[in-house]
Amino acid sequence: MSIRTARDDETDAVRHLLDAAMLTVPANLPERVGGGDVLVAVAKEIGTESTDVVGALVLDGGHVDAVAVRKHRRADGVGTALVAAAAERTDAPLTATFRAQVRLFYEALGFEVEERDDRLFGTLPADADVTR
C-alpha cells in the first residue's frame, strides 16, 4: 500500500469511498482533488498490475475534512497512514472534526479530543509522531 496525492481520474473512487462511509462529499471535490487537497491510499490488486483506491483523506489546509477507508481494509493501518501523511504536510497542528464513533481512532493517533456541539474536535500536536 502507498499513500499519495489523488489524481483527477480517481475523483469518482474518492466520492464513492466518502459516500459509503456516510460522510459529506464536498461539492467541489473535483477542484479539491485537482488542488492536491486529497490523499489516497492505493493497493495493488491481486493478480494484476493495476491499483485500487482503498482509502481517502480530504484536507482543508491543516484540517482533516474526512477520512474514509474501504470496509475490508479497516484495521490494516490505512487510516493511520493517511493521517500520518497529512500530518507530514503541515508544520502546524493537524485538526479534525468527527463523530463519536471514531474517537478511539483519533485518540490512538495522539489527537487531543474535546466536545464541540454534537461533534468532536481533535488536535494533533505539530510534534506528534503518528506511527504508520
| Cell of residue 64, nine digits | 482533516
* Pairwise CA distance, residues 64 & 61, whole Å: 8
Q: Look up the pTM and report it.
A: 0.89
pLDDT band at 119 (very low <50, low <70, confident <90, very high): confident
If you compute the radius of gyration of the chain from its CA atoms, what whole number of angstroms results?
Answer: 14
Confidence of residue 50 (pLDDT cuts 50, 70, 90): low
**In this predicted structure, which of 8-17, 42-51, 104-113 has the lowest mean pLDDT?**
42-51
Task: At 72, give phi and psi (nearest 5°).
Answer: -75, -5
The dihedral sign for the CA sequence 22, 26, 30, 32: negative
Enter the C-alpha cell of residue 1.
Answer: 500500500
Least confident of 34-38, 45-49, 69-73: 45-49
Which domains occur in the chain, in start order? 2-91 (3.40.630.30)
